[in-house]
Every structure is written in C-alpha cells, then in structure tokens.
Amino acid sequence: MTSFAMRVEDIHTYYGNSYILQGLSLAIAPGETVAVLGRNGVGKTTLVRSIIGFTPPVRGRIVFQGKVISGLAPERIAQRGIAIVPQGRRIFRSLTVGETLAIAARSGSRTAPQPQWSVESVYEIFPQLRERRDQRSETLSGGEQQMLVTGRALVSNPHLLMLDEPTEGLSPLMVQELQAVLRAIKLGGVTLLIVEQRVNFALALADKIYLMSKGRVEHETSPGLLRSDTDLRLRYLGV
C-alpha cells in the first residue's frame, strides 16, 4: 500500500458565488516533488489556498500525514508542518531580513523531528540575505524578496513546502539560482508542491506532473512524457 504525505480528495472550493475547484483530487508521496500546471484561471492558486486553509473547500477533504486538515485554521495547518511561499511574495515590509527569519523560525512546525533548517542555513544557501540581514525587507530587489520568503518558509522546517508561482517576475539568472536551491531542498527530503507557469522550470524539478483545467486535475503524467507529447502541452498549457 502506497503511503502519501498528502491526499487531496474531491475538493470543491468557491470564491463567493464563483465555483473554482470542481472536484479536484491529487496525491503526493513523502519526499516527492509534484508540479501543478495549467493555463491562467484554472484554479492553481486556489488549490494552494485550499490546502493551507485560506480558502477552505466546502466539500471533499485534505489528508496530511494521515490526518484530516481541511477545516482547520491556517495557523494550525502550518503547525502540522506545511509552509507556503505565496504568489506575490507578501513580505513584512517594515521588518529587516534578520527579523523576518527569526520570527519565522520561532513559529515553525511543532512536528519537525530534528530541525534541518535554521537562519544560518538559510544564509548559507542565500548569501545575499546574510549581506542584507539588517536591511528592511521593502528595500530588497524582487529576486532578494523571493529568496527571503523562501527562507522564511524553510526555517519553519516544513514537511511539505508549497510554492505558488515562485519564478514570477524573476530574471533568467534568478530563476536558475532558485532552481538550484529547490533542487538542494528536494535532495534534503522535503516534499514539494510547485504551482508554476514556466513549464521548463517545473519539468526540471518535478517527479510527477498534474495538469489542471476548469477547476480539476485532468491528467497526470511524468516530466519526460510531457516533454515529448506536443499535443498534451498544447491542450493544457498552450505551448
């Protein structure tokens, strides 16, 4: 029997009267990197928000490490060991880099067996942040802010790290740097869920691909098969 880090089972999520997720299901194994791809507007960000509890599903359930988490408050879900790198970064502008990381480290997962990530280890993978640790977060470049929110998530020592459009607004060089960091995080055993528009970025990291359309997963595939299947890419990604 396959064990899963997380199972999303037939969830239905609304924004007001707008029916966004329409019976979506997927599963992620421990240590696996899963990418969720699809055109704009198919519900990818809503999936992330549903898992973390910002926009909870009205039907279906989400099971994390064998326990149902759908319906819990976002802070309780985070304490179970799920962290998010949100779309648009959402930094605390008045805090310094060092303050941001220190606060996140203190409020991390209560279930982390042996902390793997600390403020110091984040500085090691993002040396630019060490150089700017006394700067207010609002003074950082877009790429540095993305480093900061990724580091902020890591110091909570999550079992599952979700990244929503992590390359948005980044230069090609910063995209390469972020890809290398996520590969190192993956090798460290953290389970990753990546929602992304840059197909090649996702394919370079993912073990499994879910393709979304109209609020549900329509196809599950491997990176190799998606690379070679032009019809599949055109149907779900338009590339």
Give 10-residue mean pLDDT values along the chain (239 residues): 85 94 97 96 96 96 96 94 87 89 76 72 92 92 90 93 92 90 90 94 96 96 95 88
The 33-37 sheet, strands edge to edge:
82-85, 160-164, 191-195, 33-37, 208-213, 216-221
The rounded distance, in Å, linking the Cα atoms of 94 and 77 is: 26
What residue segments make up the domains of the chain, in order of their start?
A: 6-236
3-state helix, strand, coil split of the chain in percent (to 5) is 35, 25, 35
The yes/no answer on whether domain 6-236 falls in CATH 3.10.20.600 is no
- In degrees and rounded to multiples of 5, residue 156 shows phi and psi of -80, -5
Determine the pLDDT at residue 117: 87
CA distance to 37, 80, 133, per residue, from 156 (Å) = 26, 11, 18
